[in-house]
Amino acid sequence: MLTIARLFGKSPFAPLQNHMDKVASCVGELPYLFKAFLEQDSEAIQRIAQKISNLEHEADLTKNDIRNHLPKSLFLPLDRSALLEILSLQDALADQAEQIAANAALLPVPLGEIPEMREDFTILCQKNIEVVRQARQVIKELEDLLECSFGGLEAEKVKGMVEQIAFNEYETVVVKNRLLKTLYSKGDKFPYPAFHLCLTLIEEIGNLARLSEKLGNRIRMLLELH
């Protein structure tokens, strides 16, 4: 059984950061998945999807440890419900990565054969993954925020990071909508199951940035409350 000291170490934010590192490991496999998806490499897709699922399970175990060993009486620089809400948003990112991988493994899609779709799909994937990385960096800043009592220059720095996440999320929506427009215009080139799967994947990839923005905004709320 974990002790509070082992779980939290010297920092009350260590568990959150540890969990976010595991979430980032899940998302970090997506570029390899997307490359295999565009190349219709079914064997590679299946292998990477399984790896992402395993990493998501590891993140789940960490999440459960935090929930099971977080006593109501523990003193934290934020209330217990806020910590659990942040944990839940991080967990949603890992779940989303696993769902994207599972869907990508369903059947081959000739998306990569259409140059303009291949280009925008690649941009969409890159931008969403970058927003997740930015959200992870915000979580890393919690240590410095604590030292500064959630104020001062460090707080302004984090607010700026959150604003950048919001702007980048907007950019992902622009690319997503452009890609969807192309998909509908080229719909006759896809069998219906492939068309529907492509539509689903585009929306699910876009959810990575949306969830990251929600996570950033939750940290921003902490700053406003201190």
* Mean predicted confidence (pLDDT) in 83-89: 94
CA distances in angstroms from 44 to 27, 39, 52, 102, 174, listed in the order given: 16, 10, 12, 13, 30
Q: Characterise 9 by phi-psi region: left (phi > 0), alpha (psi -120 to 50), beta (else).
A: left
At residue 5, the pLDDT reads 41
At residue 10, the pLDDT reads 54
Domain with residues 10-225, CATH architecture: Up-down Bundle (1.20)
* Percent of the chain whose pLDDT exceeds 90: 74
Tens of pLDDT, residues 105-147: 999 999 989 999 999 999 999 999 999 999 999 999 988 777 7
Give CA 152 to chain center in angstroms: 28
**Tokens coding 161:** 């990071």
Please tell me the distance from the alpha carbon of residue 39 to that of residue 20, in angstroms, as a whole number: 30
* Mean predicted confidence (pLDDT) in 75-80: 66
Banded model confidence at residue 75, pLDDT cuts 50, 70, 90 = low
Is this structure's pTM higher than 0.85? yes
CA distances in angstroms from 69 to 22, 78, 86, listed in the order given: 18, 16, 16
Q: What is the mean pLDDT of the chain?
A: 90
Above 50 in pLDDT, residue 4?
no
Which residues touch 59 (CB under 8 Å, ≥6 apart)?
19, 22, 23, 25, 26, 91, 94
